[in-house]
Amino acid sequence: MKKLGHTVDVLKQKLYDKEYKLTPQRRVVLEVFANNPEKHLSAEDVYDKVRETYPEIGLATVYRTLDLFAELDILQKMDFGDGRARYEFSESEVHHHHHLICLKCGSVTEFEDDLLEALEAVIEKKNHFEIINHELKFYGYCNKCR
């Protein structure tokens, strides 16, 4: 589990910087991610988990909060091609991690990678393209399903 106190402080600061407010709903959404650090949660997942402690929240609020957190670079929005967005803590500065997506059971596993940096430089030069972020996904069959 993440050190929640520190995480809340970071949120508070980032909200304050842009004149946003710290509401209980936002705090609870943050807690959900702190308590589920290695999961890739969809809006619906977050909604269900938030309602365990804050039953009166609306789904629209969850969507708005997720958007806000992505804008503040607290969360990273991802897309695994199954028609719903997923979110996880944004730690892009630390190290890149990518995803193994099982075509049978849909499970998503992470793996580490620092090998892409070299390729990135080549691509930038060759294509005159300024790279901000990259995303690498492998589709196939996980250990259980192969």
Q: Which residues bind a copy of itself (CB under 8 A)?
A: 79, 81, 100, 102-103, 109, 111, 113, 115, 119-120, 123, 126-143, 146
Contact 4, 27 (CB under 8 A): no
Q: Which is nearer to a copy of itself, 72 or 142 (CB)?
A: 142
How crowded is residue 123: how many other Cβ atoms within 10 Å of its Cβ? 14
Segment interacting with DNA (CB under 7 A) among 31-39, 78-86, 115-123, 137-145: 78-86
Residue 15 binds to DNA (criterion: CB under 7 A): yes
Kindly state the smallest distance separating residue 45's Cβ from DNA, in Å. 9
Q: State residue 76 phi and psi, 5-degree precision.
A: -115, 130
Q: What is the 3-state secondary structure (H, E, C) of 16-62?
A: HHCCCCCCHHHHHHHHHHHHCCCCCEEHHHHHHHHHHHCCCCCHHHH
The footprint of DNA (CB under 7 A) covers 12, 15, 19-26, 42-44, 54, 56-61, 63-65, 67, 83-85
